[in-house]
Amino acid sequence: MEPTAHPASGRVDVKGVAIAYDGRGGHNLALARTDLVIEAGSFVSLIGPSGCGKSSLLNAVGGFVSPAEGTITVDGKPVVGPNPEVGVIFQQYALFPWFTALGNVEFALKRFGLPRGELRDRAMEALREVGLEVHALKYPGQLSGGMKQRVAVARTLASQPKVLLMDEPFGALDAQTRISMHEILMRVWEKHKSTVIFVTHDVDEALLLSDRVHVMSVAPGRIVRTLEVSAPRPRSVEKIDPETIAHRVTVLQLLKHGHDE
């Protein structure tokens, strides 16, 4: 497959960002000063020990948490709060239980003010992309974990965010379902060309999906290594190239030691 032509929008700049929470011990640093440039249309992963600040950084890019220091911009515009240009998918399936799969996707499209028929067509198209067309009229309670997460992907992508934040989105799924989620995600990412920032604990998942993997230290986290993954797409865990094997060893060693020194 030809390399994806990256669009000019969806670039994320993290400049001197530190994140702290007020707690019993005073001001607790969750993320040490971090600089990160995420190119428009690229797929990057953040991997690091539990509690190192991955979700905090993601939440700051999403505008849900304000950094104690530094700035985050999307295409040069400072992030000052949640913004529909930045979509989020978390581990728990945040679907409305009282809407069908279709209703959940339609709800996310409301902000576009489309005529009723077009709203339905766009929502059905998004469900088709994740292979859920035949389940469109089921409620979340009638869907498996993988299907619910596919609805979440459809819902987020239908609203065409420039940047998609995914926080361990497939962590709760079984191995087989994860593999099919990876295939679906790669397909829709190549089509929509959103920038994706993906948090995972799984080195193989990070290397399979990403253009770049940023490895973080133990808390308070900082980025200790950035790896470029040049293996051609589509990739598969069955055919792993030598570079990926070397990256895998590097990431596992960094995670084991918790830092770079």
Ligand X SMILES: Nc1ncnc2c1ncn2[C@@H]1O[C@H](COP(=O)(O)OP(=O)(O)OP(=O)(O)O)[C@@H](O)[C@H]1O
Q: Are 108 and 89 in contact (CB under 8 A)?
A: no
> Would you count residue 34 as binding ligand X (CB under 6 A)?
no
> Would you count residue 51 as binding ligand X (CB under 6 A)?
yes
> Would you count residue 50 as binding ligand X (CB under 6 A)?
yes
Identify the three-state secondary structure at position 9: coil
> Would you count residue 21 as binding ligand X (CB under 6 A)?
yes
Ranges within 54-83 binding Mg ion (CB under 5 A): 55
From residue 254, alpha-carbon distances to 49, 58, 138, 223 in Å are 10, 21, 44, 11
> Would you count residue 222 as binding ligand X (CB under 6 A)?
no
In angstroms, how far is CA 212 from the centroid of its own chain?
A: 13
Tallying the residues shown for the chain, one arrives at 261
Cβ proximity to Mg ion, 55 vs 149, nearer residue? 55
Identify the three-state secondary structure at position 79: coil
Of 11, 14, 36, 53, which one interacts with ligand X (CB under 6 A)? 53
Q: Which residues, 6 or more positions from 239, have their beta carbon under 8 angstroms from its beta carbon?
A: none
Q: Are 226 and 213 in contact (CB under 8 A)?
A: yes
Ranges within 147-186 binding ligand X (CB under 6 A): none
> In which residue are the tokens 């009229």 written?
137
Cβ proximity to Mg ion, 45 vs 55, nearer residue? 55
**How many residues sit in the footprint of ligand X (CB under 6 A)?**
12
Residue 21 touches which of ligand X, Mg ion, none (Cβ within 5-8 Å per kind): ligand X
Which amino acid belongs to residue 138?
K
Minimum gap (Å) between residue 55 Cβ and Mg ion: 3
> Would you count residue 217 as binding ligand X (CB under 6 A)?
no
Ranges within 77-106 binding ligand X (CB under 6 A): none
Residues that bind Mg ion (CB under 5 A): 55
